[in-house]
């Protein structure tokens, strides 16, 4: 499953906990991009601009969707799901839009200690959010995160997608699993 949403929506916080609860792998797409490109996301933006980063992001996502061998929770960067080619890659996978009010997202983005190349000011932040919101709403489900703890967010996702947490010994409990990716081998 893929977690989508605007910057500071909680993808990198909810993702590892949800994966732990399900006994699945957790993958952070930005970390994958940094490993592939051998530089940080902010450095890619500085060196190659947003178009260069978006190309690296799409390539990393394509490779990831073709190589997942286990059920995984994948946290996407804030702009990944706004790209048509990326949404096409994810059409056979459940996606979860983590939503929060704009003011809360702004506040979180200022206090989380993450360098965000596209957070340039409050007005620009609001415009970018408005541009992307339509795309996020195309996700399989939407979960509101404002004022909620991670456990309740995970429980809502599990219930909405009919997933069962792993047993205490880490084995998968009964319940639905994700569909196999039918796109393997396709070129985009």
11, 76 Cβ separation under 8 angstroms: yes
Sign of torsion over alpha carbons 101, 104, 110, 113: negative
What integer is the mean pLDDT of 141-152? 96
Higher pLDDT, 118 or 32: 32
Strands 25-28 and 95-99: unpaired
Helices 150-160 and 11-22, packing angle to 10 deg: 60
Does the 2-160 domain belong in CATH 3.30.70.20?
no
What integer is the mean pLDDT of 113-123? 71
Torsion of the alpha carbons at 9, 19, 25 and 43, rounded to the nearest 10: 20
What integer is the mean pLDDT of 86-98? 96
Higher pLDDT, 135 or 166: 135
pLDDT tens per residue across span 33-73: 999 999 999 999 999 999 999 999 999 999 999 999 899 99
pTM score, whole prediction: 0.86
CA distance 36 to 25: 19
Which helix (H) or strand (E) segment holds residue 25: the answer is: strand 25-28
108, 8 Cβ separation under 8 angstroms: yes
Identify the pLDDT of residue 173: 42
CA distance 88 to 60: 14
Identify the pLDDT of residue 106: 87
């Amino acid at each position: 499953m893929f977690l989508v949403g605007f910057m500071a929506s909680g993808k990198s916080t909810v993702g590892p906990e949800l994966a732990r609860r399900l006994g699945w792998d957790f993958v952070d797409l930005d970390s994958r991009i940094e490993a592939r490109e051998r530089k940080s996301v902010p450095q890619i933006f500085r060196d190659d601009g947003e178009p260069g980063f978006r190309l690296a992001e799409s390539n990393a996502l394509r490779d990831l969707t073709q190589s997942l061998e286990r059920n995984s929770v994948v946290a996407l960067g804030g702009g990944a799901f706004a790209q048509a080619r990326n949404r096409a890659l994810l059409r056979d996978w459940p996606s979860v839009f983590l939503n929060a009010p704009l003011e809360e997202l702004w506040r979180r983005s200022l206090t989380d200690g993450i360098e965000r190349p596209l957070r340039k000011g409050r007005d620009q932040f609001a415009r970018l959010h408005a541009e992307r919101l339509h795309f996020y709403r195309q996700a399989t489900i939407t979960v509101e995160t404002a004022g909620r703890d991670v456990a309740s967010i995970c429980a809502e996702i599990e219930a909405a997608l009919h997933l069962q947490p792993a047993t205490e010994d880490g084995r998968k409990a009964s319940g639905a699993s994700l569909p196999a990716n039918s796109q393997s081998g396709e070129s985009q």
